[in-house]
Amino acid sequence: MSFSRRSGIAGTEGWIAPEMMLGNRSTTCAVDVFSLGCVYYFVLTNGSHPFGESFRRQANILTGEYDLSKLSDEKWSTSKALIEKMISVEHTHRPTTLAILKHPMFWPTDKTLNFLQDVSDRVDKESFDSAILASIERNRLDIVRNNWYDYLDVQVNYFFTFISFL
């Protein structure tokens, strides 16, 4: 017998938001965002669940004990940050579906490149003592992750290499 049939909770065991398991009947779209975060992780990691093996999942969901380490590679940092918010135990901390759709994880390559160009242009226009530049400098390792060329698409990296020879 399914968990939902025994408990009266709609959904699939191991994918249900904690507030549903705790009997909160005034649920919002945040329960779907929670499940979607679990599904995103499952897809990106080829079948792993953020809350562990099936026999511990329900307990881990209720206590907020998750493991996103399979997204520890730098190429997944944007996805990891989004999923972490989506599977928050506190439903008010989860993003809206509109915010998820606007997240950089779903940006096409041209939008990402345009964003990088816009940021670069903005930085060039700032004065030396600007608060924006001070913040970027203070957080430089988080922003550029040591050598930012390592994180650019191969074609973009090729373009920068080609320009440097001109």
Residue 124 in tokens: 């060039």
Contact (Cβ atoms closer than 8 angstroms) between residue 27 and residue 68: no
Give the pLDDT confidence score for residue 154 in this predicted structure.
66
Q: How far apart, in whole angstroms, are the C-alpha atoms of residue 18 and residue 77?
A: 25
Residue 34 in tokens: 């929670």
Q: What is the pLDDT of residues 10-45, one digit of tens each?
A: 677 888 899 988 887 667 899 999 999 999 999 999
Domain co-membership, 9 together with 70: yes
Q: Shortest CA distance to 29 belongs to which of 76, 86, 70?
A: 86
Domain co-membership, 84 together with 29: yes
Tell me how many domains the chain contains.
2
Q: What is the pLDDT of residues 39-85, one digit of tens each?
A: 999 999 999 999 999 889 999 999 999 999 998 776 677 889 899 99
Q: How far apart, in whole angstroms, are the C-alpha atoms of residue 62 and residue 105?
A: 27
Domain co-membership, 15 together with 93: yes
Give the pLDDT confidence score for residue 160 in this predicted structure.
60
pTM above 0.85, yes or no: no
| pLDDT at residue 109 greater than cutoff 60 | yes
Domain co-membership, 124 together with 75: no
Q: What is the pLDDT of residues 119-150, one digit of tens each?
A: 888 878 888 888 888 887 787 777 666 666 66
CA dihedral 120, 125, 131, 136 (to 10 degrees): 20
Q: Where residue 152 falls among pLDDT bands split at 50, 70, 90?
A: low
Helix (H, G, I), strand (E, B) or coil at 48: coil
Query: What domain range includes position 30?
Result: 3-106
CATH, residue 7 = 1.10.510.10
Where does a domain end: 106, 131, 155?
Answer: 106
